[in-house]
Amino acid sequence: MCDACIAAASSPPTTRDIEEGTLPLLKFDASGLITAVAVDDATGDVLMVAHMNEESLARTVETGEAWYWSRSRKALWRKGETSGQLQTVAEMRIDCDQDAVVIRVRVGGDGGCCHTGRRSCFYRRVEKTEDGFHLVRDGD
C-alpha cells in the first residue's frame, strides 16, 4: 500500500473521503476482489467483466497491462500471457464507492478477448419472448 493509503487507513474514511477524495480507499469484497470491466479503447465496446485483487490492481497500474485475479484458477492472471491477447491500458477509472474499475484497453495479438475465440465475451443479445427471454448470438 502506498504511503498516502496507509495514512488514510489510520482513521476510518468518511463517505466523502471515498466518493470525492483523490486517495485510493478501495472497497474489496469478502473475497478480496473488486469488479473490473474492460472496454475496447477503439470502439467503446465492453469486452469482458472480470475481477482484480489488490495485487492485480497494483500490477495493472504499475505495468500498464491488465492483470486480473482468476477466481477459477485462484491465481494472478496476466491477460493474454499465453494467447498474446495482452491488454494495454489506455485509461483506468474507479467508481463512486471504489468497488469497481473500468479499464479502456488496446488488445494485442489477434485482437480477441474471449476464451471462446470471439473479440468480446458479450456476443449474445437478450431477447424477450412470450414467457421470458432467450439469447441470440451475433451473426445468427
Binding site for a copy of itself (CB under 8 A): 1-5, 19-24, 35, 37, 39, 44-46, 48-49, 58, 61-62, 91-97, 100-102, 114-116, 118, 121-126, 128-129, 131-137
CB of 86 to a copy of itself, least distance (A): 18
62 vs 74, beta carbon nearer a copy of itself: 62
Give the three cell numbers for residue 66.
491488465
Cell 479503447 sits on residue: 41
106 vs 125, beta carbon nearer a copy of itself: 125
Chain-centre distance for alpha carbon 94: 10
* Cα angle 39, 45, 51; round to 5: 35
CB of 61 to a copy of itself, least distance (A): 5
Burial of 54 per CB tally in 10 Å (0-12, 13-18, 19+): middle
3-state secondary structure of 40: strand
CB of 82 to a copy of itself, least distance (A): 17
CB of 122 to a copy of itself, least distance (A): 4
C-alpha to C-alpha distance for 46 and 51, rounded to whole angstroms: 14
19 vs 81, beta carbon nearer a copy of itself: 19
